[in-house]
Amino acid sequence: MIKLSAAGLLVLALVSTTTPVRADDYYHYPEPCTFQAHTTVGTVSGTCATLQVPLAGYHSRWTLTLQFDAASVALASQLKPDQFADMVRTQSVENGTDIIVLGLWGDLEVVPTIPAYLADIQAASPIYETRPNLITITQTSTSPFKLQLLFEEPADYLNLETRRPSEEWWDRYQRSYYRLGTNRPTGFSGNDATVRKPPVKQPSKGQVQDR
């Protein structure tokens, strides 16, 4: 969620100055929520929990655990364990929903179920941030079916002064995009029947006369 992920300490600082909830409380206990996600296999929903798992050498590190409802299990079971680099955009919106967008996997609408936490997100709205992450997806339970998304931003993935991702992250992202960027049969986003080729460069008028 926004104040537990991309916006990190910035939003926690805002929360700690406007509410009686201690900011460091969010680091120790899972925060329950509900979710709806538009994924590469379809729309799924259920309950969830966020948890900070800080580690030295990381700008941010947190998990989002998804437990799918009965109507979503068949689709969700197609979402396999994975690891990839992605540019993650998170935003807190006016109704207390956290929007989490992973370009290569899907987008999630996450709503806290604790009123005080919901109010914190509403107060932080419309804060947003986009950061380079490494995402690891793990199946943690079969019955009920659960997936855990681990969001990690190692300190060397992003220079906070220049706001530039590292070459290592870009290389990993490019390899992830090639593998996960589309589910079209041909692997291209244009006309599936043909592979677009660069236009043939025509000789200039001067070049033709010189021959």
- Say how many Å lie between the first and final Cα of the chain, rounded: 65
Q: How many separate domains does the chain show?
A: 1
pLDDT value for 21 = 39
pLDDT value for 111 = 95
Segments of the chain with pLDDT less than 50: 1-24, 192-196
Judge whether 31 and 49 are in contact, CB under 8 Å. Answer: yes
pLDDT value for 16 = 31
pLDDT value for 198 = 52
Is residue 209 a part of any domain in this protein?
A: no
Is residue 204 a part of any domain in this protein?
A: no
pLDDT value for 184 = 81
Q: Which residues form the domain of 6?
A: 2-180
Omega cis (within 30) before 132: no
Q: If DSSP codes are grouped into helix, strand and coil, which group holds residue 161?
A: coil
Question: pLDDT, tens digit, for every residue of 91-136?
Answer: 999 999 999 999 999 999 999 999 998 998 889 889 999 999 999 9
pLDDT value for 29 = 81
